[in-house]
C-alpha cells in the first residue's frame, strides 16, 4: 500500500499502470494529495518514457474518481480567485503533459467517473468504461453551479462540437449510463469487469503506438465547425436566447459561463481555450450561487441519503407486499413506484372499476416508457403484473405495509385502516399520505399508533423526488427506520419532520402562495406577479401554481387553522382575493377557471377580467422586491418550523424546499438562502425588517433568527 494518492508500476508488457488511490478517503478527488502525487508520477513517467509502450490509468476505489474537491471549492472566498486559478491551471497543466506524453495513454475507467474524474479520462487518448449497474459518466458541475474547469469544457467542445457538447453533456450535467456515454462518444468502448478494462486498454495501446489527441494533430477541425462556420453562426445566437428563456431571469450563472467558455474557447488555440475556461470557472467558484448549490445538492443530499435522520440499530427493511388504499391521483402514482421497486402491490378502492382506473395510470406510464425505449416490453409487463386492483379488503392478506391515499377525512382514513388491519400482517407498517391532517390525531383512532407514520408524497408521484416523512407523537423509532428504508427503496429522497398542521412543506408553500396572491390585493398587475416569481427562480409562477392546487384548498386549510388558533387568528390580505374568485366560481384549473382561463383543461392565458376585478393599477413596483418577498416569507416560516420543533435539521429544510415545493435551486434551499444572503443572516434580518415595516408583521423574523444575526 502506497501512502500516495497516485502510484504507478511498469507491468511485464512495458505498460505503466497508474493507480488512483487516495489513502485518506473512500473516493478519489482532486485534492492537494492528488495534485502532488500526480505531478510526481508524471515526472517519473516522462523520465521512463523510452522504456514504456504506453500508460493505463485505473483506480483502486469502487468509483474511478469522484471529481473536484468540493470542500476546498466551497470555502473559497471572493479574494481567493487568483489562488483558485493557479490551482486549476496546475491540474490542467498536468493533464496536458499526459496527453502530450508521446506514447498512448488510456483511461481504464473501472467505475463511475463524474466531473474531474471524467476530465482525467478526457485527457487520455482512449477511454474504456465499465458496463455495470450503477456506473455513470458525466460532467455534473452545472448542477452545483460550477463548470468543468479541469479542461472538461474545452475537450468536450473539441470532441463533440459546440452544439452537441453543450446540449448533451455540459449544459444540464446529465449522468449518463455506460451505454449512453458510449453512444455520445464520451466513452470509446465498454468492458464488463475491472480486469477487462485493463485488457482492452492495453490492446488499444498495442494497436495505436503513435497516439495523440485529435486537436494536437495538424489539420484538426472542431466537429460541426468553429463559431465562424456560417451554418453554426446562423444558429449560435439562439443559444443564449434559449438559455435566458429557460432560466426566466433566475440568477444561475453557470450555464451562461459554460456556453461562453465553449464558444470563446472554440475560436482560439487549445491552451488559450484552457485559460479562458479557467477564468469562467473561477468566476463561478468565488460566487455565492455555486456555494449554495454545492451545499444543497452535494453536502445536504449526502447527509440525507447517508441516513442521518434514520435511527440506528434497525435492520434494513424491504416490503414484500404493499397495500395502497385509494386509487385516485396519488394512490395510482404510489402503486406505480412501489411496483417499480419490485414489490407486490394491492391497489384498493371502493369499486373494482375505480381500482382498475388507478392501475390504468401505470399502464399509461409503462406504454410511454416502452415507446420511448426507456423500458423493455418484458420489464414493463412484469411491473404491471405486480399491481392487483381490487375492491375487497380480503385481498390485502399478507401485506406488510399499508400506504393510505383516500379522501382527506380523519373518519374515513381511520376507518380504512381499521378494515385493512383485520387482514394485513399483524406488524405491518401503517403509512398515511395525508397532506394536512395531523398524524398524531389520525393515529389516535387506530390500534398500534407506534407503527403509524406520515408518508407525504408529492404530485405527480412518479416524477417528484421527495417524500416528507412525518413522525407522530407516538411513532416508534423502528417505524421511522422502516419508513426511511421504504422511501429510499422507491428511489425518493426522505426528509423527516415532526407533526404539525401542514407539516413543513405544505405550511411553507402556503406562505409563498399567499404572498403572491396578496400582491394582487395591492393592485399589482398579475403578469408582473407571475414574472416576479419566475425571475426568483420558482419552477411555476405563483398564480398558476395556485390554480393547479385549487383555490378551495387554502379556504379549507384556513378554516381549520382559524378554528385551531381561536383569538390568536390573524387574517391574511390574500384571503379576500381567494374568496372573491371562489364566489365567482373560479376555483382553479380543475374547475376550468381560476386566475387563468382554460380550454379543454389547457391553460390559455390569464383571465382577462382579473386586472379590472382587483383594480390592478399599481405599476410603481420593484420587480426584485416582489421576488424577494416570496423568497423571504418562506424562509421566515421555515425558521418558525425550526423553533416549533417541526424541523430538526438544515439538510431536511433545504432539500425539502427545493425537491418538494419548488424553492429555487440557485438559493441552495430555504435555510441556505438566509445564510448566503448579502451580509449573511444579519443582512437578511435587516431586509426582512424593511418588509415588516412596509407589509406587516408576517415579515417579523423570529427571535431565534434575530439572535443569530447579532451573534
Total of chain residues touching ligand NAD, rule CB under 6 A: 23
**Which region, judged by CB under 6 A, interacts with ligand NAD, from 220-228, 400-408, 596-604, 659-667?**
400-408
Q: Which is nearer to ligand NAD, 435 or 440 (CB)?
A: 435
Dist. CA 635–CA 644, nearest whole Å: 14
Q: Which is nearer to ligand NAD, 148 or 594 (CB)?
A: 594
Q: Which is nearer to ligand NAD, 349 or 637 (CB)?
A: 349
At what angle are helices 352-371 and 377-385 packed, to 10 degrees?
A: 160
Contact between residue 22 and residue 6 where contact means Cβ atoms under 8 Å apart = no
How buried is 334 (Cβ within 10 angstroms: 0-12 exposed, 13-18 middle, 19+ buried)? Answer: buried
Q: Which is nearer to ligand NAD, 466 or 543 (CB)?
A: 466
Does residue 350 touch ligand NAD according to CB under 6 A?
Answer: yes
Q: Cis peptide before 460, with omega less than 30 degrees from 0?
A: yes
Does residue 362 touch ligand NAD according to CB under 6 A?
Answer: no
φ, ψ dihedrals at 115, nearest 5°: 55, -125
- Beta-bridged to residue 107, according to DSSP, are 57, 127
Dist. CA 605–CA 492, nearest whole Å: 34
Query: What is the smallest separation between the CB atom of 409 and ligand NAD, expressed in angstroms?
Result: 8
Does residue 360 touch ligand NAD according to CB under 6 A?
Answer: no
Which residues within the stretch 437-466 sit at the binding site for ligand NAD (CB under 6 A)?
456-457, 459
Does residue 329 touch ligand NAD according to CB under 6 A?
Answer: yes
How wide is the angle at C-alpha 58 spanned by C-alphas 55 and 64, nearest 5°? Answer: 145
Query: What is the smallest separation between the CB atom of 267 and ligand NAD, expressed in angstroms?
Result: 49
Does residue 325 touch ligand NAD according to CB under 6 A?
Answer: yes
Query: Measured at CB, which residue is nearest to ligand NAD?
Result: 328
Does residue 416 touch ligand NAD according to CB under 6 A?
Answer: yes
Q: Which is nearer to ligand NAD, 74 or 505 (CB)?
A: 505
**Which region, judged by CB under 6 A, interacts with ligand NAD, from 24-32, 45-53, 326-334, 465-473?**
326-334
**Which region, judged by CB under 6 A, interacts with ligand NAD, from 44-52, 276-284, 349-357, 496-504?**
349-357
Dist. CA 315–CA 318, nearest whole Å: 10
Does residue 354 touch ligand NAD according to CB under 6 A?
Answer: yes
Pairing type for strands 596-599 and 602-606 reads antiparallel
* Alpha helices (H) in 296-351, listed in sequence order: 301-305, 329-340
Does residue 331 touch ligand NAD according to CB under 6 A?
Answer: yes
3-state SS class at 495: strand
Q: Which is nearer to ligand NAD, 325 or 577 (CB)?
A: 325
Q: Work out which of 171, 406, 431, 665 binds ligand NAD, going by CB under 6 A.
A: 406
Q: Work out which of 58, 433, 440, 657 binds ligand NAD, going by CB under 6 A.
A: 433
Long-range Cβ pairs for the range 479-484 (8 Å, 24+): 479/429, 479/450, 479/451, 479/452, 479/453, 480/309, 480/310, 480/311, 480/453, 481/310, 481/311, 481/314, 481/317, 482/314, 482/317, 482/401, 482/429, 483/429, 483/431, 483/453, 483/455, 484/307, 484/309, 484/310
The 3 state secondary structure assigned to 681-711 is HHHHHHHHHHHHHHHCHHHCCCHHHHHHHHC
Q: Work out which of 408, 425, 477, 575 binds ligand NAD, going by CB under 6 A.
A: 408
Does residue 348 touch ligand NAD according to CB under 6 A?
Answer: yes
φ, ψ dihedrals at 11, nearest 5°: -95, 180
Q: Work out which of 22, 300, 349, 499 binds ligand NAD, going by CB under 6 A.
A: 349
**Which region, judged by CB under 6 A, interacts with ligand NAD, from 185-193, 428-436, 553-561, 613-621?**
428-436
Does residue 533 touch ligand NAD according to CB under 6 A?
Answer: no
Does residue 327 touch ligand NAD according to CB under 6 A?
Answer: yes
Query: What is the smallest separation between the CB atom of 546 and ligand NAD, expressed in angstroms?
Result: 13
Grid cell of 144 as nine digits = 452545483
**Which region, judged by CB under 6 A, interacts with ligand NAD, from 24-32, 83-91, 152-160, 342-350?**
342-350
Specify the DSSP element, H or E, that contains 212.
none
Does residue 167 touch ligand NAD according to CB under 6 A?
Answer: no
Q: Who contacts 608 (Cβ-Cβ below 8 Å, separation ≥6)?
A: 597
Applying CB under 6 A, the residues found at the interface with ligand NAD are 325-331, 348-350, 354, 405-408, 412, 416, 433-435, 456-457, 459
Amino acid at each position: 500500500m502506497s501512502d500516495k494518492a497516485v502510484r504507478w508500476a511498469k507491468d511485464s508488457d512495458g505498460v505503466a499502470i497508474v493507480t488512483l488511490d487516495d489513502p485518506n478517503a473512500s473516493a478519489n478527488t482532486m485534492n492537494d494529495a492528488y495534485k502532488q502525487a500526480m505531478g510526481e508520477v508524471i515526472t517519473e513517467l516522462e523520465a521512463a518514457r523510452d522504456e514504456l509502450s504506453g500508460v493505463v490509468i485505473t483506480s483502486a476505489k469502487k468509483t474511478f474518481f469522484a471529481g473536484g474537491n468540493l470542500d476546498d471549492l466551497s470555502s473559497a472566498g471572493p479574494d481567493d480567485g487568483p489562488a483558485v486559478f493557479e490551482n486549476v491551471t496546475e491540474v490542467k497543466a498536468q493533464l496536458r503533459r499526459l496527453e502530450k506524453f508521446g506514447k498512448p495513454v488510456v483511461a481504464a475507467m473501472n467505475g463511475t467517473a463524474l466531473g474531474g474524474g471524467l476530465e482525467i479520462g478526457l485527457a487520455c487518448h482512449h477511454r474504456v468504461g465499465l458496463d455495470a449497474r450503477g456506473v455513470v459518466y458525466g460532467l455534473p458541475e452545472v448542477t452545483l453551479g460550477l463548470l468543468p474547469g479541469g479542461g472538461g469544457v474545452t475537450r468536450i467542445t473539441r470532441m463533440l462540437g459546440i452544439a452537441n457538447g453543450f446540449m448533451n453533456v455540459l449544459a444540464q450535467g446529465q449522468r449518463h449510463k455506460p451505454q449512453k456515454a458510449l453512444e455520445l462518444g464520451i466513452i470509446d468502448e465498454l468492458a464488463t469487469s475491472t480486469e477487462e478494462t485493463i485488457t482492452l486498454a492495453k490492446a488499444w495501446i498495442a494497436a495505436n503506438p503513435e497516439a495523440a489527441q485529435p486537436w494536437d494533430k495538424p489539420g484538426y477541425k472542431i466537429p460541426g465547425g468553429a463559431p465562424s462556420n456560417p451554418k453554426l453562426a446562423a444558429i449560435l445566437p439562439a443559444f443564449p436566447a434559449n438559455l435566458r428563456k429557460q432560466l426566466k431571469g433566475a440568477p444561475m450563472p453557470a450555464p451562461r459561463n459554460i456556453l461562453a467558455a465553449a464558444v470563446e474557447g472554440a475560436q482560439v488555440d487549445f491552451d488559450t481555450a484552457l485559460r479562458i475556461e479557467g477564468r469562467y470557472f473561477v468566476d463561478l467558484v468565488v460566487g455565492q450561487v455555486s456555494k449554495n448549490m454545492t451545499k444543497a445538492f452535494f453536502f445536504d443530499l449526502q447527509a440525507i441519503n447517508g441516513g442521518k435522520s434514520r435511527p440506528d440499530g434497525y435492520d434494513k427493511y424491504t416490503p414484500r407486499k404493499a397495500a395502497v388504499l385509494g386509487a385516485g391521483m396519488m394512490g395510482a402514482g404510489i402503486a406505480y413506484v412501489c411496483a417499480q421497486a419490485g414489490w407486490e402491490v394491492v391497489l384498493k378502492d371502493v369499486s373494482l372499476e375505480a381500482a382498475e382506473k388507478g392501475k390504468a395510470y401505470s399502464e399509461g406510464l409503462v406504454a410511454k416508457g416502452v415507446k420511448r425505449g426507456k423500458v423493455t416490453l418484458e420489464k414493463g409487463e412484469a411491473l404491471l403484473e405486480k399491481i392487483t386492483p381490487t375492491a375487497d379488503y380480503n385481498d390485502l392478506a399478507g401485506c406488510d405495509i399499508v400506504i393510505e391515499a383516500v379522501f382527506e377525512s380523519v373518519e374515513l382514513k381511520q376507518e380504512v385502516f381499521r378494515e385493512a388491519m383485520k387482514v394485513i400482517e399483524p406488524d405491518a407498517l401503517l403509512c398515511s399520505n395525508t397532506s394536512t391532517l395531523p398524524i398524531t390525531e389520525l393515529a389516535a383512532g387506530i390500534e398500534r399508533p407506534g407503527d403509524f407514520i406520515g408518508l407525504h408524497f408529492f404530485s405527480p408521484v412518479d416524477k417528484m423526488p421527495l417524500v416528507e416523512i412525518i413522525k407522530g407523537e407516538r411513532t416508534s423509532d423502528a417505524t421511522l427506520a422502516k419508513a426511511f428504508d421504504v422511501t429510499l427503496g422507491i428511489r425518493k429522497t426522505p426528509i423527516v419532520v415532526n407533526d404539525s398542521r401542514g407539516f413543513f412543506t405544505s405550511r411553507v408553500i402556503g406562505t409563498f402562495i399567499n404572498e403572491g396572491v396578496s400582491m394582487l390585493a395591492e393592485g399589482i398587475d398579475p403578469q408582473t406577479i407571475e414574472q416576479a416569481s419566475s425571475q426568483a427562480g420558482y419552477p411555476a409562477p405563483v398564480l398558476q401554481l395556485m390554480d393547479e392546487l385549487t383555490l378551495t384548498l387554502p379556504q379549507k386549510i384556513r378554516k381549520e387553522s382559524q378554528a385551531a388558533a381561536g383569538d390568536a387568528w390573524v387574517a391574511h390580505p390574500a384571503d379576500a382575493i381567494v374568496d372573491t374568485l371562489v364566489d365567482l366560481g373560479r376555483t382553479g384549473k380543475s374547475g376550468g377557471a381560476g386566475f387563468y382561463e382554460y380550454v379543454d383543461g389547457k391553460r390559455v392565458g390569464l383571465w382577462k377580467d382579473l386586472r379590472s376585478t382587483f383594480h390592478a393599477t399599481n405599476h410603481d413596483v420593484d420587480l426584485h422586491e416582489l421576488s424577494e418577498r416570496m423568497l423571504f416569507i418562506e424562509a421566515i416560516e421555515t425558521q418558525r418550523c425550526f423553533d416549533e420543533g417541526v424541523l430538526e435539521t438544515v439538510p431536511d429544510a433545504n432539500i425539502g424546499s427545493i425537491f418538494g415545493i419548488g424553492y429555487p435551486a440557485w438559493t441552495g434551499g430555504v435555510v441556505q438562502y438566509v445564510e448566503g444572503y448579502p451580509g449573511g443572516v444579519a443582512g437578511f434580518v435587516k431586509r426582512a425588517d424593511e418588509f415588516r415595516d412596509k407589509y406587516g408583521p408576517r415579515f417579523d423574523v423570529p427571535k431565534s433568527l434575530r439572535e443569530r444575526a447579532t451573534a
